[in-house]
C-alpha cells in the first residue's frame, strides 16, 4: 500500500455522490446484523410478548382464546404444587450448587499447588462430566439411584448400615439424587474456572507477601480471596440462573410419573403446557419465572458491585 | 518447609485430587460396564464391576427400540447446521459491531447483550405455536433455524475482532476498493480462526446436548435427536437396564472421543470469557 494510493480517500462513491463511504458502511453494518434481529423478532421477541399476553388468557392451543384477566396467576399462586415446585427448585439448587462451589474451590486450590504434577490429566478428568449431555448424566444417575436394593447408591449405603432408600418416591431421596447429578456434572467445570482464576493471580504478589512475613492463611485471606472474587461471583451467578431453570434432570429421573417430590418450576410449566394444554396458566408460570430470574440477576449485579467496591467480603 | 511436612502435604494433595478424579470418572467406567451386562445383573449384590458379555446384544436391543443411527444423524445435521450458521452470522455481526460505523450501533449492541438475560423457557409456548403454524413440527429446521445465531456469539466475535484486527488494515483494504463483505471474507475470517474454533465448540456442544426444545418440537421418532431418543429409551414401560445404558454409552462415546482429541481447545474454549470478564 503506497501513500499515493492512500491520499484520495473521500471520493470513493463510485455510483455517484449519494452512495458515500459513510452510507455504504451503514448499509453493510445494518445488513450484517440483520439476521440476528430477524430471527430474534420471530423466535424471541414475538414469543415473549405473546407469552405475556397469553398469561391473561385461557387457551388450549386449538379453540378461541378467552380473556380471563389475572385468573391464571391466581390459579397458579393458589396451587400448592406451584409453591412446592418453587420450593423444590430452590432447595435442589442450593443442595446441588453450594457444596459444589466449595468442593471446586478446594480442588482448584490443590490443583494450583506447585507440588502437583500431571495437572493436565486431572483437568481432563474433572472436565469430562461437563462435556457429557445432561440426558446421559440423568440416565446413568437414575440407575445409580435406583430404588432397588441392588442399586449402586443403596449398595454403598448398606455398607455403612443404612437400609435401602426409595430414591424415586421419598421426599428427600428425589432431591438428593437430582442434586448429586447437578453436583457431578458441574463441579469439574467450576474447578477449571477457579483454577484459571487462581493462575491469573501474579506470583509476585505471594512472593512479596512472603517477604513481609505473611502466613499461608493470611496470603489466602488477603490475596487469593480478593483476587478470585470476580470469578466466584461469575460462578455463583451462573449457578443461580442455571438452578432456576432446572428441567432435564428431574424429567429424566422421574420418568413418566412426574411426582411432586422432584417437580421444578420449569417442569411444572412444561407439564401444564404440553401434557394438559393449559397454555394460559403455563404462560403465567413462565412470566413468574421470568420475574424471579430477573430479580435474581439484579440482586447478583448489585451484590457483585457492592462486593467489588467494598473490598472485603 | 521441613521435608516430612512437604511429603505429607504432597500426599494429601494427590489424595484429594485423585479421589476427585476417581469420582469424576467412575460413572463413565460404570456406564461401560453396565452396557456389557445382561439385565438380571442390575438386581445383583454386589454390583458387577467388570465387563460382561452382552456388549453387542445390548446394543442390538437398542436398535430394536429406537432408530439409533437415524437419531445420531439427526443430531449431527442439527448440530453442524447450527454451528455453521452461528459461526457465519455471529462473525458477520461481530465484524459490523467491531469495525463498521453506523447510527445506533451502541444501542443495538447493548440490546443484543440484554437479550442474553431472557430465560429461554419464557417464549417456549408461543415458539411451539409458531412452529405448528409454520408446519415445522417434526422437522429438523424447527430446531436449526432459531439456533442459527445467538447473542453470546456476536459478543464473543466482536471482542475478538476488535482486539486482533487493526483499523489500518481495514482502511487499507477499503482504499484498494474492497467491499465490506470482501474485507470480512478475506481479512477478518482468516485472521480470527482461533475465535472461530472456540465459538464453534461452544455452538456444537450446546446444540448436541440441547434437550428441552428438541423434545418439544420433535415428537416423531424418525425426527428425534439422540438426546430425545435416549430419553424415550429410558421411559419405556419394561426397563431393560443393560439396553438403556448401552444406548446412553454409545451416544456418549463420540463426544468423549472428540473431547479427548481436542481437550486443550475444549477446556480453554469453555473457560475463556468467564475469567477475563
Task: ipTM value, please give it.
Answer: 0.89
A187: which chain B residues are within 8 Å (Cβ-Cβ)?
Answer: 24
| CA A304 distance to own-chain centroid | 17
Q: Determine the Cα–Cα distance for residues A290 and A280; give it in Å rounded to an integer.
A: 15
- Residue A234 at interface with chain B, using a CB cutoff of 8 Å: yes
Phi, psi dihedrals of residue A67, rounded to the nearest 5°: -70, 130
**CB atoms closer than 10 angstroms to residue A294:** 13
Count CB neighbours of B7 within 10 A: 12
Alpha-carbon B60 to chain mean position: 27
Provide the shortest C-alpha distance from residue B47 to chain A (in Å).
7
Running DSSP on this structure, what letter comes out for residue B67? -
- Cα distance from A79 to chain B (closest Cα, Å)? 20
What is the pLDDT confidence band of residue A15, given thresholds at 50, 70 and 90? low
What pTM does this model have?
A: 0.88
* Closest Cα in chain A, distance from residue B74 (Å): 16
pLDDT for B136: 94
Grid cell in block for residue B131: 412452529
* Cβ distance of A188 and B9 shorter than 8 Å: no
Q: Inform me whether the pLDDT recorded for B134 exceeds 50.
A: yes
What pLDDT does residue A63 have?
Answer: 86
Residue-wise pLDDT tens digits, B251-260: 999 889 988 9
Task: Say what the pLDDT of residue B28 is.
Answer: 93
pLDDT at A12 over 60: no
Q: Which helix (H) or strand (E) holds B263?
A: helix B263-271
Which class for B178: exposed (0-12), middle (13-18), buried (19 or more C-beta within 10 A)?
Answer: middle
Report the residue from A107, A231, A279 with minimal CB separation from B275. A231
Please check whether residue B213 touches A, CB under 8 A.
no
Is the CB of residue B270 less than 8 Å away from at least one CB of chain A?
Answer: yes
- How far B40 CA lies from chain A's nearest CA (Å)? 10
Which of A3, A6, A28, A36 is most worth mutating to test chain B (most B CB atoms within 10 A of its CB)? A36
Is B209's CB within 8 Å of A134's CB?
Answer: yes
**pLDDT number for residue A230:** 85
Work out how many CB contacts closer than 8 A connect A with B.
Answer: 282
Check CB contact of A148 with chain B, cutoff 8 Å: yes
Q: Do A273 and B125 touch (CB under 8 A)?
A: yes
Alpha helices per DSSP H over B135-166: 141-144, 151-164
* A127-169 confidence digits (pLDDT tens): 999 999 999 999 999 989 988 888 889 988 989 988 888 898 8
DSSP string, chain A: --HHHHS--STT-TT-SSS-HHHHHHHHHHHHHHHHHHHHIIIIIHHHHHHHHHTTEE--SSS--EE-TTHHHHHHHT-HHHHHHHHHHHHHHHHHHHHHHHHHHHHHHHHH-TT---HHHHHHHHHHHHHS-HHHHHHHHHHHT-SSTTSHHHHHHHHTTPPP--TTTSHHHHHHHHHHHHHHHHHHHHHHHHHHHHHTS-HHHHHHHHHTT--HHHHIIIIIHHHHHHHHHHHHHHHHHHHHT--HHHHHHHTTS--GGG--HHHHHHHHHHTT--HHHHHHHHHHHHHHHHHHHHHHHHHHHHHHHH---
Average pLDDT, chain A: 87
Per the CB < 8 A criterion, the answer to whether B131 and B69 are in contact is no
| pLDDT tens digits for range A225-254 | 888 888 888 888 889 888 999 999 999 888
Q: Per the CB < 8 Å rule, is A255 touching B234?
A: yes
* Residue A3 confidence (pLDDT): 45
* d(C-alpha B39, C-alpha A230), whole Å: 49
In a mutational test of the A interface, the residue from B11, B12, B27, B244 whose CB has the highest number of chain A CBs within 10 Å is B27
CB contact under 8 A, B234 and A39: no
Asked if the Cβ–Cβ distance from B17 to A30 is below 8 Å, we say no
DSSP letter at B240 equals: -
Nearest by CB to residue B43, choosing from A113, A148, A289, is: A148
Which residue in B21, B34, B121 is closest to A125 by CB distance? B21
Q: What is the mean pLDDT of residues A99-110?
A: 93
In DSSP terms, which residues pair with A67 in a beta bridge?
A57
Closest to B184 (Cα-Cα) out of B115, B83, B88: B88
Asked if pLDDT for residue A177 goes beyond 90, the answer is: yes
Asked whether the beta carbons of B273 and A134 are under 8 A apart, the reply is no
Sign (positive/negative) of CA torsion A141, A147, A148, A149? Answer: positive
Report d(CA B93, CA B195) in Å as an integer: 14
The residues in A 68-97 lying below 8 A from B, measured between CB atoms, are none
Name chain A contacts of B189, Cβ cutoff 8 Å: none
Q: What is the nearest CA distance from A172 to chain B, expressed in angstroms?
A: 22
Q: Report the chain A residue with the minimal C-alpha distance to residue B244.
A: A139
- 3-state DSSP assignment of residue B117: coil
Is A177 an 8 Å CB contact of chain B? Answer: no
- Rounded Cα distance between B84 and B76, Å, is 12
pLDDT above 60: residue A7: no
Nearest to A135 among B44, B112, B227 (CB): B227
Using pLDDT thresholds of 50, 70 and 90, give the confidence band for residue A4: very low
A154 exposure class (CB count in 10 Å sphere: 0-12, 13-18, 19+): buried
Residues 30-59 of B with CB under 8 A from A: 30-31, 34, 42-47
Q: What pLDDT is attached to residue B120?
A: 83
Contact predicate A193/B274, CB 8 Å: yes
Of B260, B231, B270, the C-alpha closest to A189 is B270
Which of A115, A132, A136 is opposite residue B9, by nearest beta carbon?
A115
How far apart CA B271 and CA B8 sit, in angstroms, is 32
User: Would you call B133 helix, strand, or coil by DSSP?
Assistant: helix
How far is the alpha carbon of B127 from chain A, nearest alpha carbon, in Å? 6
Instruction: With CA atoms as reference, report the closest residue to A4 among B182, B175, B168.
Output: B175
Q: Among partner residues A39, A103, A193, which is closest to B146 by beta-carbon distance? A: A39
Answer whether A200 touches B (CB < 8 Å): yes
pLDDT at B47: 77
pLDDT tens-digit readout, B76-121? 999 999 999 999 999 999 999 999 999 999 999 999 988 887 888 8
CA distance B153 to chain A (A): 11
**Residues B218 and B147 sit within 8 Å (Cβ to Cβ):** no
From the CB of residue B240, how many other CB atoms can be counted at a distance below 10 Å? 17
Look at residue B273 in the predicted model and tell me its pLDDT. 61
Give the mean model confidence (pLDDT) for residues A170-194: 93
Q: Average of pLDDT values for B124-135? A: 92
CB–CB contact A193 B89 (8 Å): no
B64-75 burial: b if 16+ Cβ within 10 Å, else e: ebbbbeebbebb
Cell numbers at A35, concatenated:
439476521
Amino acid at each position: 500500500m503506497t501513500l499515493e494510493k492512500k491520499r484520495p480517500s473521500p471520493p470513493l462513491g463510485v455510483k455517484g455522490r449519494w452512495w458515500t463511504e459513510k452510507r455504504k458502511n451503514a448499509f453493510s453494518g445494518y445488513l450484517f446484523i440483520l439476521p440476528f434481529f430477524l430471527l430474534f423478532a420471530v423466535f424471541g421477541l414475538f414469543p415473549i410478548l405473546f407469552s405475556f399476553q397469553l398469561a391473561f388468557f385461557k387457551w388450549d392451543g386449538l379453540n378461541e382464546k378467552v380473556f380471563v384477566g389475572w385468573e391464571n396467576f391466581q390459579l397458579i399462586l393458589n396451587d400448592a404444587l406451584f409453591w412446592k415446585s418453587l420450593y423444590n427448585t430452590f432447595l435442589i439448587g442450593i443442595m446441588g450448587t453450594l457444596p459444589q462451589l466449595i468442593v471446586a474451590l478446594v480442588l482448584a486450590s490443590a490443583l494450583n499447588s506447585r507440588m502437583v504434577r500431571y495437572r493436565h490429566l486431572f483437568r481432563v478428568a474433572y472436565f469430562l462430566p461437563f462435556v457429557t449431555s445432561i440426558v446421559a448424566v440423568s440416565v446413568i444417575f437414575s440407575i445409580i439411584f435406583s430404588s432397588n436394593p441392588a442399586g449402586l447408591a443403596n449398595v454403598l449405603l448398606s455398607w455403612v448400615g443404612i437400609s435401602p432408600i426409595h430414591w424415586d418416591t421419598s421426599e428427600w431421596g428425589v432431591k438428593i439424587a437430582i442434586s448429586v447429578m447437578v453436583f457431578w456434572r458441574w463441579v469439574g467445570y467450576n474447578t477449571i474456572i477457579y483454577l484459571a482464576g487462581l493462575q491469573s493471580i501474579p506470583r509476585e504478589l505471594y512472593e512479596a507477601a512472603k517477604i513481609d512475613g505473611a502466613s499461608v492463611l493470611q496470603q489466602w485471606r488477603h490475596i487469593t480471596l480478593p483476587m478470585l472474587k470476580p470469578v466466584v461471583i461469575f460462578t455463583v451467578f451462573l449457578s443461580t440462573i442455571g438452578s432456576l431453570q432446572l428441567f432435564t434432570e428431574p424429567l429424566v429421573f422421574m420418568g413418566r410419573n412426574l411426582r411432586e417430590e422432584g417437580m421444578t418450576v420449569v417442569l411444572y410449566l412444561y407439564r401444564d403446557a404440553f401434557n394438559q394444554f393449559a397454555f394460559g396458566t403455563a404462560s403465567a408460570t413462565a412470566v413468574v419465572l421470568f420475574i424471579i430470574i430477573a430479580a435474581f440477576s439484579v440482586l447478583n449485579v448489585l451484590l457483585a458491585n457492592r462486593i467489588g467496591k467494598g473490598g472485603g467480603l | 518447609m521441613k521435608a516430612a511436612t512437604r511429603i505429607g502435604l504432597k500426599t494429601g494433595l494427590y489424595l484429594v485430587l485423585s479421589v476427585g478424579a476417581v469420582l469424576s470418572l467412575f460413572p463413565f467406567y460404570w456406564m461401560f460396564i453396565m452396557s456389557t451386562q445382561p439385565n438380571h445383573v442390575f438386581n445383583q449384590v454386589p454390583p458387577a464391576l467388570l465387563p460382561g458379555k452382552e456388549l453387542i446384544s445390548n446394543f442390538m436391543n437398542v436398535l430394536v427400540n429406537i432408530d439409533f443411527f437415524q437419531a445420531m444423524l439427526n443430531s449431527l445435521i442439527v448440530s453442524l447446521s447450527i454451528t455453521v450458521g452461528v459461526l457465519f452470522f455471529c462473525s458477520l455481526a461481530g465484524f459490523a459491531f467491531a469495525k463498521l460505523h453506523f447510527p445506533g450501533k451502541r444501542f443495538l449492541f447493548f440490546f443484543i447483550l440484554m437479550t442474553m438475560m431472557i430465560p429461554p423457557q419464557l417464549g417456549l409456548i408461543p415458539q411451539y405455536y409458531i412452529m405448528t403454524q409454520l408446519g415445522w413440527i417434526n422437522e429438523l429446521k424447527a430446531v436449526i433455524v432459531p439456533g442459527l445465531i445467538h447473542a453470546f456469539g456476536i459478543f464473543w466475535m466482536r471482542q475478538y475482532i476488535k482486539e486482533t484486527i487493526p483499523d489500518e488494515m481495514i482502511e487499507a483494504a477499503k482504499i484498494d476498493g474492497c467491499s465490506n463483505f470482501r474485507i470480512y471474507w478475506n481479512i477478518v475470517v482468516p485472521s480470527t480462526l482461533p475465535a472461530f474454533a472456540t465459538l464453534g465448540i461452544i455452538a456444537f456442544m450446546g446444540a448436541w446436548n440441547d434437550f428441552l426444545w428438541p423434545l418439544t418440537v420433535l415428537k416423531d421418532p424418525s425426527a428425534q435427536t439422540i438426546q430425545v431418543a435416549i430419553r424415550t429409551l429410558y421411559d419405556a414401560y419394561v426397563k431393560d437396564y443393560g439396553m438403556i445404558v448401552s444406548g446412553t454409552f454409545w451416544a456418549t462415546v463420540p463426544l468423549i472421543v472428540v473431547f479427548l482429541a481436542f481437550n486443550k481447545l475444549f477446556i480453554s474454549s469453555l473457560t475463556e470469557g468467564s475469567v477475563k470478564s
